[in-house]
Structure 1
Amino acid sequence: MPTTAQESPTVRGRLLDAMRQCLTDRGYQATTIADIVRVARTSKRSFYAEFADKQECYVELLGAVNVELLAAIETAVDPASAWPAQVRQAVHAYITVCESNPGTTRSWIRELPALGDAARAVQLASLEAFTALMARLTGTDRFHAAGIPPMSRETAVIVWGGIRELAASTIERGLPLSSLEEPAVAACVALVGGTAAARAVD
């Protein structure tokens, strides 16, 4: 379930948790600093002691959630498992984190791009971290034995963009994110396994 603003021991942490809750309740555009400090049970003065504005708080939160997401994926994947099972483990971890952060999941796709350069910076940092993680996870013995090379940046971009859009649209339709696990696993297995098939044809 979403983190509540009262769980963090620091003012900054409570404000970030409050922003997380506000994204779920009303989205970024409709959220005001008054909303954030009310949920965080603090003051505007305390807010401005930590952040220059609402956007800075928002961007920091999205970056932090992305770090949580990638850490959860890496922890969930067992390199001793068969490679399709590893793909499933990664997808399941992704969905689990998104389920606990529905507001940030939707906002990343629908609202973040409107911030322009500030958005681009956090998007690029997150994408680079994801591509590095995918190359690392698919560069292990199980994938090598199946003739599958480490995931390329191009393939990682397809996976990253596709699964984020799928998650956002699933939330908007009011469906549980668990409903996308099977199609997401099937698509990722086909994409990853197809790399080996393509190399064989070449």
Structure 2
Amino acid sequence: MAAGEAPPPLSARVEYVLRGACAAMAAAGALLLGLSAQTKTVLFVQKKAVPKDVQALWVLIVAASAAAGYHVVQLARCLYMARLSTAGGGGGSRRLSREIACVSFLLDKGCAYMVFATTVAALQACFVGLIGVEALQWSKLCNIYTRFCEQAAAGMVCSMLAAGGMAILAAFSARELFRRPDASSAAGALGWNGSQGSSSEL
């Protein structure tokens, strides 16, 4: 930071931390799930467990990767806008409009829902592999592919933490959105003040 340059406001710093943490946790979850694989010999036949064997795990990997990329892009956007605002003296023209803030809020909310829903679906699918279903003759798999299940569980924990962070970030985005004045109301207020000023001059 250059000498004499004002630090970003507290709300901006909180957003930076939240977006960075969400991106890191989502990326960690995707990596842990994507790299989880284990080969075992069952009845003299080698079988390999991979995330694609459980469709819900594969969907979670894609969702977590997309969420991590989204928050990295949003973090870069926030840093860029902060730099522009600082370079321009903090003028209002450098700030996000209410429409763009609304789109950002909707994307944050949708991203949180997506990661949470896919994580819950993956947990449900893996719970079957953990305890089995005797009525359907589905045997327990985690006592065979122990390392695979442990790594998948760690990835789902990271994804769930990322979903919680994204929910907090969506609430933070909503707060920032409703704190912004509407452009039409602001223009109306300026027009009203202008008319008052001209009438007072008369």
The two structures share one fold, judged by TM-score above 0.5: no
Report the TM-score when normalising by structure 2. Answer: 0.30
**Structure ID, larger Rg:** 2
Q: Which is richer in strand?
A: 2
